[in-house]
Amino acid sequence: MQRERDLTHQVESMTARIQALTEERDALRASEAELKLEVREASTRERSLTASLEAAQATISGLKAELQTTHASAKRYV
């Protein structure tokens, strides 16, 4: 009789542990999915910022070239 109670208690304990581990696993999976989404969003934002930076650098290079041309032209008239 005692052995049966002990085994029943062990089964109940193991069942509770399995339930807790299952809940923890599910929470981790949800967190993982959220983190993956955040990484994708950050990666998209990074690509966008990189493209903006490259465009700004190209604009600066163009403006510098234009300034040098204007400066050279102005020197001819001085």
Give residue limits of the domains in the chain.
Answer: 1-77
Predicted local confidence at residue 22, as pLDDT: 99
Of 48, 61, 2, whose CA–CA distance to 10 is shortest? 2
pLDDT at 72: 85
Locate 9 and state its tokens.
């208690």
Chain centroid, CA 39 distance in Å:
2
Residue 14: what pLDDT? 99
The closest alpha carbon to 64, from 53, 54, 75, 72, belongs to 72
Per-residue confidence (pLDDT) for residue 78, from 0 to 100: 63
Q: Which residues of the chain have pLDDT under 50?
A: none
Query: Rounded distance, CA 27 to CA 39, Å?
Result: 18
